[in-house]
Amino acid sequence: MLEGCIFDIGGTLIRTEHALLSAIKETLLENNLPPPSDEQIFIHFGVGHLNIFKKIIPTIYKKKDVDSVVRKCYEQFEARYPHKFLDSFQLLPAAEECLDELNRRGIKTGCQTGMERREAHLLLQHFNILKYFPVLVAFEDVALPRPHPDALYLTIEKMKIRKNNALYIGDTITDIKFARNAGVKIACVTTGPQKRELLEKEKPDYIINNLSELIDLIDASTKPED
């Protein structure tokens, strides 16, 4: 029996990829660093913003002081994101309706995100959906980032649900690996920045096109057999 759904934020509940991509590129250009392609940036989404810079910058900057450049870029990025981009974010279709229906059915909802807490709180509050998440586990709450499973274990513990009765909803390859490493089923939604064919190669438990299909998926999985 499904006890709880654990949601990612960016690309799952809220369209963030365009704002995040713009903020990363602006930061790199300010430091005379040529941004890689959009796809080369998108592939790192979901691991936390500091780790995105740690993965990208060494591929375009080869000097010994690369660590200090990463730190400088990250601090500049944090000074502008997300508050200077609020008009660029969008609540994804059916997100609030889905959360409301889960709440009506008594299915617990929690949030585990690769964002820092201040960013996650700001975005959820901005779209008036923070109320659905009494449990919010953010990037700084664990020592090891996704796809290491500690953050998902912590979320499940705080929600007081059983791992076998939890469902994680995410949108990236990192999310799929994250759920798999934790032994939790995942419904991967295709509203994020990574293409469906890339997600399918990772063989998530379920792939859905939007959050309205999540309710249909839950209904189908709990329907008694004839």
Question: Quick one: which H or E segment has residue 167?
Answer: strand 166-170
DSSP state for residue 121 in the 8-state scheme? H
Question: Quick one: which H or E segment has residue 75?
Answer: helix 66-80
For residues 83 and 120, give the distance between their C-alpha atoms in angstroms, rounded to a whole number: 11
**pTM for the full predicted model:** 0.91
Per the CB < 8 A criterion, the answer to whether 95 and 13 are in contact is yes
Can you read off the two tokens belonging to residue 64? 């010994």
Q: Give the residue among 125, 146, 28 at the shortest CA–CA distance from 76.
A: 28
pLDDT by 10s per residue, the chain, length 226: 899 999 999 999 999 999 999 999 999 999 999 999 999 999 998 888 999 999 999 999 999 999 999 999 999 999 999 999 999 999 999 999 999 999 999 999 999 999 999 999 999 999 999 999 999 999 999 999 999 999 999 999 999 999 999 999 999 999 999 999 999 999 999 999 999 999 999 999 999 999 999 999 999 987 654 4
For residues 94 and 100, give the distance between their C-alpha atoms in angstroms, rounded to a whole number: 10
Q: Which CATH architecture has domain 4-15+90-222?
A: 3-Layer(aba) Sandwich (3.40)
Can you read off the two tokens belonging to residue 111? 């949030």
First vs last C-alpha separation in the chain: 18
Predicted local distance difference test score (pLDDT) of residue 47: 85
11: left (phi over 0), alpha (psi -120 to 50) or beta: left
Q: Residue ranges per domain, the chain?
A: 4-15+90-222, 17-87
